[in-house]
Amino acid sequence: MLHISRIDVAYGDLQVLWDVSLEVGPKSVVAMVGPNGAGKTTTLRAVMGLLRPAQGRITFMGQDITQTPTHEIVNMGLCLVPEWRGTFSTLTVLENLELGAFPKAARAKKTESMQRVFEIFPILAERQSQRAGTLSGGQRQMLAIGRALMLQPKLLILDEPSLGLAPLIVDDIFKVIKQISTEGISILVVEQNVNMALEIAQYAYVIETGRIVQHDTGAKLLTDERVRSAYMGI
Amino acid sequence: MFEIIAQNIVSGIMVGALYGLAALGLSLVFGVLKILNVAHGELIMLGGYTTFWLFNLYGLDPFVSLLVVLPTIFVVGWLLHQGLFSRVVQLDEENRIKNSLLIGFGLTLVLQNLAIQLWTADERSVTPAYATAALELGGVRLPVIRLAGLIIAFLAVAGLELFLNRSYWGKAVRATAEDWQTAALTGINIKTTYLLTFGLGASLAGIAGTLVTVSFSISPFIGLQWTLKALIVVVLAGLGSIGGVLAAGILLGVTESLSAYYWGGEYRELVGLIIFLIVLSVRPQGLFGASE
Amino acid sequence: MKYGGWLIAGVLLAALLVTPQLPFSNNKILTILIQLFIVAAMASSWNILAGFAGQVNLGHAAFFGLGALTTRLMWLDGYPLALSFVAGGLVAALFALAIGFPALRLRGIYFAIGTLALAEALNETVSNILPGNSALPGPQLVSYELPSRYYLALGVVLVVVAVAYWLTQARLGLGMMSVRENEAAAQAIGINAFRHKLWAFIISAFLAGITGSAFAYFHVSYYYQHTFTPLWTFDAVLVTFVGGVGTVAGPILGAIFFVVIRDVLATNLTNFHQVIFGVLFILVVLILPGGFLELWDRLRVRMTNSK
């Protein structure tokens, strides 16, 4: 579905990604793990068109999206829940979700999407008229995911969903991610929390200092010596 | 004595509403695109000349000409953004601000001097039949034209608020103003949002221009004066705060009016500038802006 | 600069020095050259704060005006010219020192519009207090001759260019440029950003001040307010960018181009030179941030590459 093919990305003169390749197939859950600053978010920004790679290609559903503007990529069904949550704090929960259905195709399904989001995250239904800025960290994460779901995504990318959240909430979030994947949406999750990520992923990539150093099935990586010692302190 | 002061205050409110209207477009553009268009006053000037020529050539009533000015200056704004400002909007903050400042600056020179070439440097005015008509309310004289300007200013603010809060595109504009990257990730077309916003800011300037022409006069040189005036109001209100702009404008208008009364007309402009400088050094986020 | 560049500059300087003595020189030529020197000096002095230290000052005219006003008033009051001249620069520098503390605390755009407003406030004040014009009284009018004005203006622009050049070699100037590039990084390596900005501000002001002094000595009659109008700032900004901001030669090149278009070519298209310059300016900002100098560099690279 999503093919990232040997991309190089630089910020001005500073190159940060070298020869990165990654694939997400239909109806699968893929993880990209690695330490802080390894280039995970940069890869995602390149995929979504917030950055352009200097080399390489990115294709989604067979179409080359390397130079496509962000909102068009989103319209094709590729959506990102960014690391910075991406909720509009000056708008209410309801307005945030409604805005999530901005593209015409999503707008038509607005009511059912919103129903679905409220089913998955009942707390959002409770706090619909609250301004998003007043929500807690975990609730904001739920709102961010909810907003992405309003776009009727075919592939949902989550950047560090566990960041800054208490372990119990992280559990909840990952349960939700699993639930979403069972409904047929492909997931790419990018995480520092290697454990949680590898538990739900069928396939995973390890990225360090801008390069993919390892990739294998989730199960194999969980038991891999190197991964365990580097990331799980074992 | 009280009547004279009341008259001054009322005049100040009416002029102030015009200041607020002039600043509205500037504030909108800054809030969303994060650029300060110093050629804003030239857009006001262009709106004013549109009204003048429509009146002069076709006898079109200046208030009716608003219907023409709105779309015309919107298109001018659209073109200016498409051709010029769009190229700097996506730069990093420092370069974006510096380059947009410089572009606006160059535009000011080009537009002002083109106006001089095309329409001469003479001051012109528009005098419809009701130019001297006025209402009398408790000893205070309310010129009909200024009163209409006041009403239009309020309508413009109300219209803008409605657009931003109730319409889909309005919410897209607010979202883009807050965080353009997330807005893009929501499927909002940022380029179109910017174009729309800039065009809207330009039309608001155009409307202000019409009112300036019919309340005072029009010449190619009013651009810089009004840019400065709008800048002062925008900074007073707080860069990016749209609600406070009308109030800040009225505050400025009344202060100017009373200063002119107490200290003489020559100090009218000076008062505004001094207040501006004080606010800038003490509270740069403005009277109504959020503390950083 | 390579030796070729120095040679050209030397020849030009010699030519400028002897111009008033040449048989074909007349008032028109000298006047245009004086105007060139003033524009070049204004641009170059502005460039020190904006191009070297990175602070865009939209109130540069204030310094010019203060220098002109001080010199004119003192000189017409009987003080010796030399004293009045230096006093002009000093008053401007003191003004910069005084407002530097509050003004330089403002960042980027606030600084730009703050200085703009300040210059406007000064403009308004002067037009209220001194609405008339300043005309040379009898004795000065009778003894008026152009060559001394010419040499003073030439001297001023040489001083300005010399200071600009010196800054590119001195630690003070390099410190300013590092503040321009990245203020936080400069602070991190021990450079006091505020002090460098203040120095740039004061130097820029002093140089603009003595330029104003040269203006006051040159003009027979002018409105006091004229030296405070924002046009002086705007022309300086335009000229600097078109020539090449942040360089020593840029403002000079821009000034030559400007004066050629404005005073030599402009016949009946009164303000059209402003339109041309405005358009050029916008093109520079969008496409060629280094101005003419960058264009020249690029052409040179092309020519050497095609060998």
pLDDT at site C215: 94
Token match 């090449």: residue? C244
pLDDT value, residue C269: 59
Query: Residue C237: closest CA among chain B residues belongs to which residue?
Result: B102
Looking at the predicted structure, is the pLDDT value of residue A83 above 60? Answer: yes
**Residue B178 neighbours by CB under 8 Å, 6+ apart:** A88, A89, A90
Share of chain C above pLDDT 90, in %: 34
Chain C contacts of B275, Cβ < 8 Å?
Answer: none
Q: Quote the CA–CA distance of A87 and A110 in Å, as a whole number.
A: 18
What is the distance between the alpha carbons of residues C151 and C158, in angstroms, rounded to a whole number? 10
The Cα C215–Cα A192 span in angstroms is 67
B176, with CB counted inside 10 A (0-12, 13-18, 19+), is buried
Q: How far is Cα C305 from Cα C307, in angstroms, rounded to an integer? A: 5
Q: Which residues contact A210 (CB under 8 A, 6 or more apart)?
A: A15, A16, A17, A18, A20, A38, A39, A42
Q: What integer pLDDT is reported at residue B113 of this predicted model?
A: 87
CATH of the domain at B139: 1.10.3470
Query: Tokens 């083109």 label which residue?
Result: B114
Rg over CA atoms, chain C: 19
Give, in order, the Cα–Cα distances in Å from B275 to each of B229, B243, C96. Answer: 12, 20, 20
Q: B195 CB near a chain A CB, below 8 Å? A: no
Measured between CB atoms, does A76 come within 8 Å of chain B?
no
In the structure encoding, which two tokens stand for residue A43, read together?
A: 């890869």
Residue C203 and residue C194 in contact, taking contact as beta carbons nearer than 8 Å: no
CA atoms of A80 and A42, how far apart (whole Å): 13
pTM score, whole prediction: 0.85
Q: Which single residue is written with the structure tokens 């209207």?
A: B21
H-helix or E-strand spanning residue C89: helix C81-103
User: Is B290 a member of any domain?
Assistant: no
Contact between chains at B174 and A90 (C-beta distance less than 8 A): yes
Would you call A71 an interface residue with chain B, using a CB distance cutoff of 8 Å? yes
- For A56-79, write each residue's pLDDT tens digit: 999 999 899 999 999 889 888 899
* Max avg pLDDT among A218-232, B29-43, B230-244: B29-43
- C with A: 3 or more CB pairs under 8 Å? no
Give, as one character, the DSSP assignment of residue B290: P
**Residue carrying structure tokens 């109130």:** C59
User: What pairs with residue A10 in β-bridges?
Assistant: A15
Task: Give the Å distances, CA to CA, from B222 to B6, B26, B43, C108, C258.
Answer: 28, 16, 10, 26, 25
Judge whether A89 is closer than 8 Å to chain B, CB to CB: yes
Across the interface, of A71, A100, A151, the residue whose CB is closest to B189 is A71
Mutation choice for B interface testing from C49, C109, C229, C241 by most B CBs within 10 A: C109
Among A184-193, B158-167, B274-283, C235-244, the minimum mean pLDDT is found in B274-283
Q: Which residue has the tokens 């960041």?
A: A163
**Which residues in C251-273 are b (16+ Cβ under 10 Å) and which e?**
bbbbbbbbbebbeeeeeeeebbb
Question: What would the pLDDT profile of B133-191 be if each residue is shown by its tens digit?
Answer: 888 887 788 888 889 999 999 999 999 999 998 888 898 898 888 888 888 888 889 99
At residue A162, φ and ψ (nearest 5 deg) are -90, -5
Burial of C15 (0-12, 13-18, 19+ CB in 10 A): exposed
Portion 23-52 of A in contact with B at CB < 8 A? 48-50
* pLDDT for the residue numbered B291: 45
Half-sphere exposure of A6 (CA within 13 A, CB side): 2
* A115 contact partners, CB below 8 Å, separation of at least 6: none
Q: In this complex, do C234 and B109 lie within 8 Å of one another by their Cβ atoms?
A: yes
Q: Which residues pair with B136 in a beta bridge?
A: B141
Instruction: Return the structure tokens found at C138.
Output: 């009898």
Whether residue B172 lies within 8 A of chain A, CB to CB, comes out as yes
Q: Which residue of B has its CA nearest to C131?
A: B266
The answer on pLDDT for B240 being more than 70 is no
What pLDDT score was predicted for residue B150?
Answer: 92
Nearest to B171 among A74, A99, A147 (CB): A99
- Testing the interface with B: which of C271, C277, C280, C284 to mutate, by most B Cβ within 10 A? C271
Inter-residue contact B195 to B86 (CB < 8 Å): yes
At A130 the pLDDT is 86
- Express each pLDDT in C151-206 by its tens digit: 999 999 999 999 999 999 998 988 888 888 888 888 888 888 889 999 999 999 99
CB atoms within 10 A of CB A106: 22
From the list A75, A87, A90, which residue is nearest B187 (CB)?
A75
Q: Are C201 and C49 in contact (CB under 8 A)?
A: yes
- The shortest C-alpha distance from B262 to chain C (Å) reads 16
pLDDT tens-digit series, residues A135-189: 888 888 889 988 888 888 899 999 988 888 888 888 888 888 888 888 888 999 9
Greater confidence (C1 vs B249) lies with B249
Distance from CA of A176 to the nearest CA of B (A): 20
* CB contacts, 8 Å: B31 with chain C: none
- How far does CA B239 lie from the centroid of its chain? 14
| Number of domain units in chain B | 1
CA-closest candidate to residue B250, choices B162, B146, B160, B168: B146
Alpha-carbon distances, residue B63 vs B10, B22, B147, C225 (angstroms):
22, 16, 12, 37
Asked if A88's CB is within 8 angstroms of B185's CB, the reply is: no
* pLDDT tens per residue across span C117-138: 899 889 988 988 888 888 888 8
Q: Do A and B make contact, counting contact as 3+ CB pairs within 8 angstroms?
A: yes
Residue B233: which of B194, B289, B177 has the closest Cα? Answer: B289
CB pairs under 8 A between B and C: 100
Indicate whether B95 pLDDT > 80.
no
How far apart are the C-alpha atoms of C118 and C106, rounded to whole Å? 13
The domain in which residue B25 lies consists of 2-282
Looking at the complex, does the CB of residue B185 fall below 8 Å from at least one CB of chain A?
Answer: yes
Of C200 and C17, more confident = C200
Residues of B in contact with C121 (CB under 8 A): 270, 273-274, 277
Closest CA to C152 of C3, C30, C4, C64: C30
pLDDT tens digits along B12-60: 999 999 999 999 999 999 889 988 898 999 999 999 999 999 998 998 8
Angle between helices A93-100 and B168-178 (to 10 degrees): 100
B179 touches A: beta carbon within 8 Å: yes
Contact (Cβ atoms closer than 8 angstroms) between residue B218 and residue B54 = no
B289 within some domain:
no
Residue of A nearest to B173 (CA): A99
- B251 belongs to a structural domain: yes
Which residue in chain C is spatially nearest to B271 when comparing CA positions?
Answer: C121
Q: Determine contact: B190 vs chain A, CB below 8 A.
A: yes
Facing B280 at nearest CB: one of C114, C278, C285: C114
Please give the average per-residue pLDDT across C11-33, as a whole number. Answer: 81
**Given this model, what pLDDT does residue B292 score?**
38
Interface test with B, best of C273, C286, C288 (most B CBs within 10 A): C286
Query: Which residues on B lie below 8 Å from C128 (Cβ)?
Result: 266-267, 270
Q: In this complex, is the C-beta atom of B122 within 8 Å of any C-beta atom belonging to chain A?
A: no
Give a yes or no: residue B288 inside a domain: no
| Residue B2 pLDDT level (bands cut at 50, 70, 90) | confident
Of A1-10, A59-68, B238-247, C192-201, minimum mean pLDDT range: B238-247
pLDDT at residue B200 greater than cutoff 90: yes
Interface chains of chain C (3 or more CB pairs under 8 Å) = B
Give residue C215's Cα distance to chain centre: 12
Q: Which of A42, A48, A71 to mutate to test the interface with B (most CBs of B within 10 A)?
A: A71
In a domain, B261, yes or no: yes
Instruction: Tell me how far apart the alpha carbons of residues B39 and B105 are, in angstroms, rounded to a whole number.
Output: 6
> What residues of B are in contact with residue A94 (Cβ under 8 Å)?
none
Residue in B178, B185, B191 closest to A82 by CB: B185
Decide if A90 touches B, using CB distance below 8 A: yes
Nearest to B45 by CA among B236, B230, B285, B254: B230
Write down which chains contact chain B via at least 3 CB pairs under 8 A: A, C
pLDDT in tens, A84-120: 888 888 788 888 888 887 777 777 888 888 888 888 8
Query: What percentage of residues in chain C have a pLDDT greater than 70?
Result: 96
Q: Which of C113, C270, C277 to mutate to test the interface with B (most CBs of B within 10 A)?
A: C113
- Taking the CA atoms of residue C162, residue C163, residue C169 and residue C171 in that order, the dihedral angle to the nearest 10 degrees is 170
The 3-state secondary structure of C15-36, one letter per residue: HHHHHHHCCCCCHHHHHHHHHH
A75 touches chain B (CB under 8 A): yes
Measured CB to CB, residues of chain C less than 8 Å from chain B are 56, 102, 105-106, 108-110, 112-114, 116-118, 120-121, 124-125, 128, 230, 234, 237-238, 241, 269-272, 274-275, 277-279, 281-282, 285-286
